[in-house]
Structure formats: structure tokens, C-alpha cells
Structure 1
């Protein structure tokens, strides 16, 4: 059974304007308004509640992330809830929020076995202390943190880093001009820009991804979805919209091919403040319900075992 968990955080993002805060924390309730949660529960899912974040503070200093303490605390609480859902034999579907969610997911999965990460995102999110002096916002640095390429305070919480082995990590969806693209191609198992997905098709792309993450030595894989993987013409309600992304049908097909074998998923970076009439929330509701409706229905035996123990 899919268990829906709201994680309405904005802690990993920079302020959109001075004295303002990002709107991604409103995303789960915007999705409730469009009927997304009801569509899942009508199909047999359960509502597993909410993990609330701490107060947003624009407090980044050299060597320290903005909202760092609050991010770590939220990650620990999210990890406990994800672990509880899996222990009950259910499949977590987490609605954020920003991309800092991947740390909480990693904290939940790392003690349970060896899991792969499928990072579907319009950006590589690989800014890190090794390539930038501007580290401050985890939502632009989450992939680096997930594979241990960030400050230990965020990449090795409770001594559990790296949360995902680089050899078990796949990224798909960045643009060809992504600043860290070449570095990511060298660092992880497989990197597929959006242009290649568009050229080769979603089905062929999913086959390439599954070859890397459905290995016998893995206990399963987790789907990270940042909705800025969509082209800016169809999804401008994100903090960094860019041209060259996927169209809705392409993303839906990609998700539908990957979701059945996934141990869980989270959806991030939709900002209702940038969607005053709700049209983009309604579009995402269709994409997510059609694309992730079969989440976890074909879990490999090891992943199913870990979900139950």
C-alpha cells in the first residue's frame, strides 16, 4: 500500500526576495486542494500524516548551510516516519517541500540495506565545498550531500553517510549547460541529460536507469523527483525554471516505467506562490497520480523483506 506523507519544508532554498521565504512548504496542501491525496486514497493508499519543518531563517554563514540545524532535525524526523511506513509494509510517497528531503530519506534507508538513488531533476544539484565557495542552500546541493560530497554536518548525519553510494546513483533530467554536469558524469553511475531523454524517449531512458538500479546486490531504489525537470513553458512554478526540459507526457511515461520497482519516492520544489490560479498544481496532480500510481507494486523480494522488518 502507498502511504502518503507530507513534508512541507522550504529550509533548503534561498529566499526568493529579501525578507521573504520560499513557498514550497505550501505544496502538500496545494496538492490536497487539487484532489491529489484523494485520488490516491480512493485507489487504496493511506494518509500517513505530516512532518513539519522548523522555522525558516536566512542564517547561512561561511562553512554552514542556511537553516542547517533545522534541516538536520527535520531530516531525522522524516527518517523516522519513512522507516515506520516501511516497517508497516507500506511504500512511502513523500510530498515536499524542497530537495533537502533526500537527506531524511537517506537516513531512513541507509540502516535498512543498500539502496540506489534515482535523481530525476532539472539540475544536477551538485554544488559542493569542492567546487564552490557559495554553498548555502541544500536544495541546490542535495545530490552532493546524498553521496557524501558535502560538509560532514549534512552529508554524514549520525555517522550514516554517504547515504547512497555513487556507484548506486543515477541522475536524469539536467540541462546540457548545467555547470556541474561533467563533474557529476565522473562521480556517479549514470547521468542522462534531459536532451537525451527527449531524443531517445522515456521508455528507453527508463530501461537504461533500471539496468543500473535493479542489480542483485541492491535492496531497491528510491525516486527523487524535482518537478523542475519539466520545461519552463509548462512548469514555471519552481524556484529555477529552465528551458530544455521534459513535457508532461514524457515525465509521466518515465515515472510510470520506474515507479513499480521503487521502494518509495518524494516530490519536490513545486511552489504554489508561483501558481496563483492553481493550473500548475492541477497539471502535477495528473502527472503524479498517473506516473506514480503503481509505486512499489513490483518490489524485488529483498526490498519487500526490508519494508516488513
Structure 2
């Protein structure tokens, strides 16, 4: 299905514990994103980057210890939510480029404005912490909990995606989850698939099951693709690499199934850190996976 795609850059690292991920949008663009999307049959408009607080004015100790730089995260996510909602209202598919994974709060809030959505979350991590449970205070480990209004995020208007329910969320590829997150995920109606389950059943079966979850009774779904979902041998340029992740072909197979569903509403690519990358390899891979999600196929 041909799409009009609007690229939205969110060059932030406020939610992360390592600098450099704010350069992710530039690296992904440089990696050939527009060309890859056009090869998939998409018409592409690049809306540029959101305006974010400059690093020179950033206080290294800003915000509470248990939710670092939360004010900056709120500012960026509010802007991104409006941009995503505007893109959808104008008949285009928003593709947000991070930046760290905290930007997903804005993507989900915007995508869920005036719609019931599902979310498929490709990630090594659960991102289901809250300020009360996070061992680091880094907000990039909290976006799913924030959008779902879990714990401290209950009733936090800017962070809650009103059209998103736990039963329409599927996390695919978990392999590094905090104890508190494990308990919270088990206590929720979120569906989670570990890498062990992918090993046992295969990426195709798992992704099909996940797509059933996120499309059941929804108006479409949002795709959140953290590049640390892949094995570090495939994607070395990420801030929190964990061995044992998805392979190159597994990742493409999953994105091809996303495209085949025809129900993707919005997408984001996050956690590409060119400072840690090798010859922009991870950013280039992000562009390839985006193209697969938007319909590029081998034949």
C-alpha cells in the first residue's frame, strides 16, 4: 500500500544516560532514509527536527533523581504529540526519529488522539518502569508505563495516551528486564514475548501473534522500534546493547509482516547513537527496516 510519509525528527538525549543519541535523526537521514522509503513506494516529506532545549543550557542535575530531565522530556513529547496528530489528520503517516526512547511518549499520545490504537514494541527492554521503580531515573526506561498511566504516571495528562489500552500492547524481543518491571508486566494486560520465545516459535509466529494483539478492536497500531532490539553485532551503535538480540533477517521479517498487515498508523526509530556506531552501520540498518515496514520487499 502506497503511503505519504512525514518524517519528524526528535533530537533528544534527555531520557538516556549516554550522550550522542540526540544525533540519531541526522545519522538516520544520512543513512539514506528518504531513498529507502521512496524505494518502498512511499511519497516522503521531511518536516525537519522539533526545536528542543539546547545542550549548552542543560543542567546535568535537572529534574528529580527518579525522573531525570522530566520537564525537558515533557516539552519535547508534547511538541511531538501535536506533530504526530497533525500528520495523521492530514492523511500522512508520521515517522518519528529519535533521540532516546522517551520520545515514544509523544508518538503514542499523538497517535492515540481521537483514535483507539495498539502498540507493538520491538525492544530488548520493557520500558515499563516508573519514577518509583526505576533504578536509574532515566526516562527512556519509562515510556510504555507513562503512556499507559501506570503507577506514578496515572493521571499525568501530557504522558497518557487516552486511546491506548494495555490489552492492545505487545512487546516483542525482551531479554533485559528489571525485577520491578517483570512484576509490573505480569500484573498488567500487556502481552510480552521474550527472545527465548522467538527462539522456540520463530519470529514469524511471534510477530503474527503480536499483530493480532495490537489490531484487535483498534483503528490501527503504532510501531516502536528500538535498535537495541537487534543483536549488537547487527546494530552496534546503541546506548544499551544486550547480546542475544534479533538477527538481521528476523528484524526484516518482522517489519515485512508489519507492512503486510496494512494497519500501521505511525512509527518511530529510536536509540541510534552515532558516537557508538561503526561507519553509520546502525543508522543505515534503521533506514532499511523502516523501508520494510513501509512495504519494501525482495520481489
Pick the TM interval, shorter chain.
0.7 to 0.9
Question: Partner of 2:198: helix, strand, or coil?
Answer: helix
**Aligned in 2, Cα 1:275/1:82: closer, same or farther, shift over 3 Å?**
same
The alignment yields a C-alpha RMSD, in angstroms, of 2.4
Give the match for residue 2 of structure 1: 5
Return the structure number with greater strand share. Answer: 2
Q: How many residues align?
A: 285
Write out per-residue CA displacement over residues 238-264 of structure 1, whole angstroms, 9 at most, x where no aligned residue.
111011110011011111112332101
**What is the distance in 2 between the residues matched to 1:159 and 1:193?**
26
Question: Unaligned regions of 5+ residues in structure 1, if any?
Answer: 17-21, 296-309
Cα contact 1:31–1:37 (8 A) shared by 2 = no
**What is the distance in 1 between the residues matched to 2:159 and 2:23?**
31
Cα contact 2:109–2:162 (8 A) shared by 1 = no
Give the match for residue 27 of structure 2: 30
Give the match for residue 220 of structure 1: 220
* Cα deviation, residue 276, structure 1: 4.5
**Aligned in 2, Cα 1:278/1:135: closer, same or farther, shift over 3 Å?**
closer
The equivalent position to 2:94 in structure 1, one of 92, 95, 98, is: 92
Cα contact 1:189–1:212 (8 A) shared by 2 = no
**What is the distance in 2 between the residues matched to 1:249 and 1:189?**
26
TM-score by length of 2: 0.86
**Aligned in 2, Cα 1:62/1:51: closer, same or farther, shift over 3 Å?**
closer
Question: Partner of 1:30: helix, strand, or coil?
Answer: helix
TM-score by length of 1: 0.84
**What is the distance in 2 between the residues matched to 1:185 and 1:24?**
30
Write out per-residue CA displacement over residues 14-72 of structure 1, whole angstroms, 9 at most, x where no aligned residue.
2x3xxxxx211111111222212233246422223221322343225546522211111
1:146 maps to 2:143: no
Give the match for residue 206 of structure 2: 205
**What is the distance in 2 between the residues matched to 1:229 and 1:71?**
22
* Cα deviation, residue 130, structure 1: 4.6
* Cα deviation, residue 157, structure 1: 2.8
1:294 maps to 2:295: yes
Question: Unaligned regions of 5+ residues in structure 2, if any?
Answer: none
